[in-house]
C-alpha cells in the first residue's frame, strides 16, 4: 500500500469510489497542487494527476506521484491515457479538474486544441459529457483580455464550470483549495435532495439567570454545520438556525439565530420544510430570570428552574421528515436504544440519532441512527454521520 492511502477518507467519505483527474498547467499556483491532491484524497477520491510541459517546470511529477500514490501522466503514449480515462466507456473517470488553469489552456480547451496532455484530456472529457471544473489563475490583464473572456464564455456554453478566480493585487488568483474541494464535492454529490428544502437547527440555547448571566448546555454546533453543508452539496435549499456556536459556520450557508428556547418557538411559524433535523442542545429548564444583575457578593444564589416547552412536537406537523437527537452519558447500548425509541414514539419522529457523550470527541463520534424499521451503527467522523443521517432522510422522503 502506498503511504498516501493512510489519509484517504480522513475527513469524509463523500468522494469514496470517485475518480478525479487533476490537470495541472503552467501557473505558479501549481505549487498548491500537492495539498489539493491530498485534500481530495482525505474525502475519499482516487486522484490521477496529468501535467502540461509547463507545469512540469514548476512542480515535479515525483512530488505529485508521492501526493497521489499514482503514476503521473506527463505525455500521452500508446496506452491512450486520454481515452482510457475519459472515453465514452462505463468505467471512465468521474470528473476532470483543471487547477490551476492558465489563459493559454482555457483558450485551447475552448477551441479544441490538443497539444498537451491536459488539453487532450479536456477535449475527450467534454465530448464524453464528463463534468469539467476549471480554476483559472493568471495576471488580471490576461483574464480581462476579450479573447480570453470570450473563451471562458464559450466553455461555459459547453457545460464547463469555473471556480473563481479571486481578484487581488492585479491578479486573477486561483481559488483556495478549500473552495475547489467544496465545488468538487458538490459536482460529484448524489444530488438526491435537489428541489427539497432542509432546515437544520443547531447550537445551544442560553437561558438567562439575570440580565448578565445565563445557563446553557455543552455543544459546539459542529454536527449542525456538517449536516447543513452536506445537505447543500446534495442539492437541497438549506437553512441553518443556530443558538450559541463555537464551530465556524461557512458564509455560504443561510443562517438565522436564536438565543433561548422561547426565541426558537417564536420562529417555528415559518417552518414549512421537507425535512427538519435538530441536533441542537436545547435547554429543558430555565431559571426564573431576575431583573438587573444578581450581586456577586451573595454567598448563595438559589435558582428556581421551570420546564420549557418541547420543540420537536411543535415541529411535527410542519415537515415531512423530522429528525431528533438523543444524548445520554454512561448508559449501556440496550438502554440507549430503549430511551431513543421511547423519544421516537413520544414525539412522532421519523429518525432519531442517539449517542453516549463519552463516545463523542472533536470531529469523531459513535452513534446509532434509529428508525421505526431498524438501527444503524456509525463509528467514525462526524462528516460520515452527517452523510448517513441524510441517507436515512432521503429514504423516508422516497
DSSP 62-126: HHHHHHHSS--BSS--TT-HHHHHHSSSTT--SEEEEEEE-HHHHHHHHHT---SHHHHHHHHHH
Taking only the tens place, the pLDDT of each residue in 128-178 is 999 999 999 999 999 999 999 999 999 999 999 999 999 998 899 999 999
- Mean pLDDT computed over 343-363: 89
Q: Which long-range contacts (CB under 8 A, 24 or more apart) does 62-65 make?
A: 63/34, 64/24, 64/33, 64/34, 64/37
> Reading across the β-sheet that carries 351-356, which strands appear in turn?
254-257, 237-242, 197-202, 275-278, 321-328, 351-356, 364-371, 374-381
Taking only the tens place, the pLDDT of each residue in 284-334 is 898 887 777 777 766 677 888 889 999 999 999 999 999 999 989 989 999
Nine cell digits for residue 41: 484524497
Taking only the tens place, the pLDDT of each residue in 51-83 is 999 999 999 999 999 999 999 999 999 999 999
What pLDDT does 363 receive?
Answer: 67
The rounded distance, in Å, linking the Cα atoms of 149 and 103 is 9
Residue 271's closest CA among 241, 315, 238?
315
Mean residue pLDDT of the chain comes to 93
- Mean pLDDT computed over 20-37: 97
What pLDDT does 212 receive?
Answer: 82
What pLDDT does 215 receive?
Answer: 82
Q: Return left, alpha or beta for 262; rule: phi > 0 is left, psi -120 to 50 is alpha, else beta.
A: alpha
The rounded distance, in Å, linking the Cα atoms of 128 and 158 is 11
Please give the domain boundaries of the chain with CATH numbers for all domains: 3-187 (3.40.50.1950), 197-397 (3.40.50.10300)
The rounded distance, in Å, linking the Cα atoms of 342 and 301 is 36
pTM of this prediction?
0.82
What pLDDT does 298 receive?
Answer: 66
Are the CB atoms for 121 and 112 separated by under 8 Å? no
> In the chain, what percentage of residues exceed pLDDT 90?
78
Are the CB atoms for 238 and 254 separated by under 8 Å? yes
What pLDDT does 305 receive?
Answer: 87
What pLDDT does 210 receive?
Answer: 82
* Least confident among 215-219, 256-260, 262-266: 215-219
Are the CB atoms for 281 and 205 separated by under 8 Å? yes
What pLDDT does 99 receive?
Answer: 97
Give the Cα-Cα-Cα angle 65, 37, 177 (nearest 5 degrees).
Answer: 150
Taking only the tens place, the pLDDT of each residue in 43-59 is 999 999 999 999 999 99
Taking only the tens place, the pLDDT of each residue in 172-201 is 999 999 999 999 999 998 999 999 999 999
**228 pLDDT higher than 70:** yes
Specify the pairing of strand 132-136 against strand 138-139.
Answer: unpaired
Amino acid at each position: 500500500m502506498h503511504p498516501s492511502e493512510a489519509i484517504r477518507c480522513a475527513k469524509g467519505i463523500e468522494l469514496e469510489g470517485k475518480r478525479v483527474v487533476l490537470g495541472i498547467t503552467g501557473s505558479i499556483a501549481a505549487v498548491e497542487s500537492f495539498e489539493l491532491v491530498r485534500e481530495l484524497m482525505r474525502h475519499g477520491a482516487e486522484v490521477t494527476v496529468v501535467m502540461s510541459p509547463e507545469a512540469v517546470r514548476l512542480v515535479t511529477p515525483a512530488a505529485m506521484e508521492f501526493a497521489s500514490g499514482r503514476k503521473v501522466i506527463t505525455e500521452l503514449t500508446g496506452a491512450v491515457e486520454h481515452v482510457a480515462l475519459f472515453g465514452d466507456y462505463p468505467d471512465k473517470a468521474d470528473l476532470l479538474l483543471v487547477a490551476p488553469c492558465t489563459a493559454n489552456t482555457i483558450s485551447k480547451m475552448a477551441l479544441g486544441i490538443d497539444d498537451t496532455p491536459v488539453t487532450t484530456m479536456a477535449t475527450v472529457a467534454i465530448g464524453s459529457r464528463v463534468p469539467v471544473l476549471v480554476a483559472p489563475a493568471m495576471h488580471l490583464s490576461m483574464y480581462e483580455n476579450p479573447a480570453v473572456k470570450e473563451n471562458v464564455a464559450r466553455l461555459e456554453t459547453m457545460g464547463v464550470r469555473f471556480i473563481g478566480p479571486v481578484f487581488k493585487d492585479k491578479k486573477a488568483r486561483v481559488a483556495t483549495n478549500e473552495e475547489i474541494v467544496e465545488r468538487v464535492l458538490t459536482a460529484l454529490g448524489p444530488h438526491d435532495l435537489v428541489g427539497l428544502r432542509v432546515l437544520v437547527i443547531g447550537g445551544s440555547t442560553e437561558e438567562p439567570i439575570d440580565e448578565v448571566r445565563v445557563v446553557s448546555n455543552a455543544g459546539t454546533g459542529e454536527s449542525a454545520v456538517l449536516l447543513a453543508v452536506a445537505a447543500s452539496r446534495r442539492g437541497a435549499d438549506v437553512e441553518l438556525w443556530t443558538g450559541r456556536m463555537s464551530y465556524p459556520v461557512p458564509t455560504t450557508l443561510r443562517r438565522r439565530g436564536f438565543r433561548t428556547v422561547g426565541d426558537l418557538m417564536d420562529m417555528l411559524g415559518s417552518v414549512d420544510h421537507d425535512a427538519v433535523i435538530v441536533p441542537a442542545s436545547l435547554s429543558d429548564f430555565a431559571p426564573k430570570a431576575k431583573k438587573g444583575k444578581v450581586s456577586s457578593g451573595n454567598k448563595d444564589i438559589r435558582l428556581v428552574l421551570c420546564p420549557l416547552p418541547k420543540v420537536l412536537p411543535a415541529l411535527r406537523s410542519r415537515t415531512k421528515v423530522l429528525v431528533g437527537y438523543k444524548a445520554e452519558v454512561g448508559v449501556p447500548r440496550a438502554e440507549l436504544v430503549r430511551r431513543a425509541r421511547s423519544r421516537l414514539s413520544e414525539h412522532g419522529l421519523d429518525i432519531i440519532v442517539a449517542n453516549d457523550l463519552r463516545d463523542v470527541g472533536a470531529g469523531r463520534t459513535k452513534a446509532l441512527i434509529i428508525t421505526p424499521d431498524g438501527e444503524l451503527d456509525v463509528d467514525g467522523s462526524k462528516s460520515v454521520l452527517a452523510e448517513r443521517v441524510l441517507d436515512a432522510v432521503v429514504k423516508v422522503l422516497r
